[in-house]
Amino acid sequence: MDARTIIFYLLAATVIGGGLMAVTSRKIFRSAVFLLFSLIGIAGFYFFLDQEFIAAVQVVVYVGGIVVLILFSIFLTHGSGEDMKKPALGRAVFSALAAAIGCVLTMYLISEHTFQGSGKPALEPSAGNIGAQMLSVTEYGFILPFEVVSMLLLAAMIGCIVIAIKVKVPEQKVMPKIKEETEPVELEVVEELKTEEV
Amino acid sequence: MSLFLEISFSAMANGLHNWLAGSISNATLVSVTEMAIAGVSLLLFLVPLCFFLGYMERKVAAFMQIRLGPNRVGPKGTLQIVADTVKLLFKEGLTPNASDKFLFNLAPIIVVVTSMLAMAPIAFAKNFQIWDINIGVLYVSAISSLAVIGILMAGWSSYNKYSLLGAMRSGAQIVSYELSVGLSLISIVILTGSLRMSDIVASQADGWWIIKGHIPVIISFVIFLIASTAEINRAPFDLAEAEQELTAGFHTEYSGMKFAMFLLAEYINLFIVSAIAATLFLGGWMPFHLGNWSFFNNVMDYIPGSLWFMGKTFLIIFIIMQFRWTFPRLRVDQLLTLEWKYLLPISMVNVIIVTMMAIFGWHL
């Protein structure tokens, strides 16, 4: 049993243990923290495979982005500090069954599948190589997924802005600073509201 | 010249490695021992460093306010921070009754561990860094995005409204200012073409980027200083622990050594931010070189790289400490306006200009 095996099992225990604790914990904030450990364990696997770039991206996206987002939503949810109710026995049994069947199916597929190496020499994962591959249009280039993901993110961003746009209500007119910053279009809205009140 | 090279840190590290490799036959055991040595020496470096930064903070504050600062305990008040540490050691580590005790105790550990992890790729001298990872800059920004989790955890588990509000403010602040920090780091990465710390330092052998990169790099340096001061929650961006309104923010309920761990992490983060700025913009351990003036460059080479690195780092720490006593605290809306309406658009345009500079070779 060499050091690599020990590290592998430690990481695997972190990932699986964190995942199990995340779904079984009665406190929702703790669940999010255990999910964090699980995701960090996966980043650890990428470091273990010498893919530092993917590992850092895993930490930035999942830990720095998604878990923080989850924590913020927990902060803003009413009554999220209380312990969650125990689920009914029937539901618990069927969830466990679904999880077990999914696990067995995945393991069966992985054990049946024969993985073939590409045979090509591995590229050095330097920033320059990663950037070139990301924007490359050749056979193993990633320009299409890159552009699709950027379109998706752009659409999400525009959606966020549309949701977050505020229509100014008359009460806010007492603050002079906001009045200055109001766009001409929104000023019209304010005036409309005022006439309606009159 | 040769004398300096022989007693350099990298020679010491190599000597230690060779001695360990000679005396221990198992290669795994050698690397485990080296990891332990690196960790212990990092701790032995960080704790006195934080003592010194605590003393320096008081003295800089006194200097800015034309008073003496600590001057009773020890010569010139140098032992003041030791007295403070002893006080913190003897204090009871209180845990609020209604708090989530597991997370309450975990939060300070996470904050300190993430700060220490971010020390790994920092180059202290030539060939002397813990881990010369090929994505050094990205690694540091990834790890520093972890710190916010510890702060949110501390705020939530304290079961206190001030803690919760402080944690939310801190979270919003760190998440927003991360963007500007990232973009200003990217401008140097574009000019260097590498994320590796040693490559970035090596690219500044004929002049530091702040000199070679003209005004765009100076702009990104200033943005980095502002945004990273916000990211480490220091004044004037200390809304998360604004004493007058939130008592102490996310660490209101912490006392004794758990509070000391937050303090330790704050000083380590201050050092990391300054070290990153010194490495990327001011050349790290690289001496001050000017183009082809070989005589001048040779004279500068006589000063050891570690001294250059520490000198630059402490210069930036001094600047960030001066911010604290120069600017009043920002309101939440001013904070968000500064980031989203000024810093982020400026740094986006700046990145485009820097990219053009890199493509057309306009830098020196």
Kindly report, residue by residue over A62-75, the tens digit of the pLDDT.
Answer: 888 888 888 888 88
Query: Whole-angstrom Cα distance, residue B151 to residue B170?
Result: 8
Residue B128 forms beta bridges with which residues? B125
Helical segments of B232-281, H only: 243-246, 256-281
* Burial tier of A96 (Cβ tally within 10 Å: 0-12, 13-18, 19+): exposed
State the average pLDDT over residues A130-159. 87
- What's chain A's length in residues? 198
- pLDDT at residue A22 greater than cutoff 80: yes
What do you get for the CA distance between the two ends of chain A, in Å?
83
Give B178's contacts in chain A (Cβ within 8 Å).
64
Give the pLDDT confidence score for residue A18 in this predicted structure: 92
CB-based contact (8 Å) between B114 and chain A? no
What is the distance between the alpha carbons of residues B186 and B169, in angstroms, rounded to a whole number?
26
The tokens for B223 are: 């943005």
> Cβ(B210)–Cβ(B281) under 8 Å?
yes
Q: What is the pLDDT of residue A174?
A: 54
User: Taking CB atoms and an 8 Å cutoff, what residues of chain A touch B103?
Assistant: 29-30, 33
Whether A179 has a pLDDT exceeding 70, the answer reads no
User: B299: Cβ–Cβ under 8 A, 6 or more apart, which residues?
Assistant: none
B241 by DSSP, 3-state: which?
helix
Do the chains contact at B195 and A81, CB–CB below 8 Å?
A: no
Q: Is A197 left (phi over 0), alpha (psi -120 to 50) or beta?
A: alpha
How is residue B249 annotated by DSSP? G
A65-68 LR contacts (CB < 8 Å, sep 24+): A65/B145, A66/A39, A67/A32, A67/A35, A67/A36, A67/A39, A67/B149, A68/B145, A68/B148, A68/B149, A68/B152, A68/B171, A68/B175
Q: Find all residues with CB under 8 Å of B227, minimum gap 6, and list them.
A: B177, B180, B181, B184, B339, B343
**CA B90 vs CA B95, B258, B265: distances in Å:** 15, 12, 20
Contact A29 B156 (CB under 8 A): yes
Contact B237, B330 (CB under 8 A): yes
The residues, ordered by sequence, that sit 6+ positions from B177 with a Cβ below 8 Å of its Cβ are B227, B228, B230, B231, B237, B339, B343
What is the value of pTM for the model shown? 0.85
What are the per-10-residue average pLDDT scores of chain B (364 residues)?
58 81 81 87 89 89 88 84 86 80 87 90 84 87 86 84 84 86 91 87 84 88 92 80 72 82 89 92 83 77 84 92 87 86 92 91 77
Please name every residue paired with B125 in a beta bridge, in sequence order, or none if there are none: B128
For residue A151, what pLDDT is reported? Answer: 94
| Torsion, CA A144, CA A146, CA A149, CA A154, rounded to 10 | -110
B143 vs A: CB within 8 A: yes
Q: Do A68 and B159 touch (CB under 8 A)?
A: no
CA distances from residue B186 to B155, B182, B281 in whole angstroms, order as listed = 32, 6, 12
Q: Determine the pLDDT at residue A198.
A: 43
Instruction: Determine the Cα–Cα distance for residues B78 and B85; give it in Å rounded to an integer.
Output: 13
Inter-chain CB proximity B135 and A127 less than 8 Å: yes
Position with higher pLDDT, A82 vs A135: A135
Which residue in A128, A41, A51 sits closest to B133, CA to CA?
A51
Report the pLDDT value the prediction gives residue A176, as an integer from 0 to 100. 54
Which candidate from A2, A29, A68 shows the least CB-CB separation from B175? A68
Q: Are A42 and A58 within 8 A, CB to CB?
A: yes
* Cα of A102 to nearest chain B Cα, Å: 31
Tokens of A193: 């509201």
Does the beta-carbon distance from A67 to B149 stay under 8 Å?
Answer: yes
CA distance A194 to B29: 78
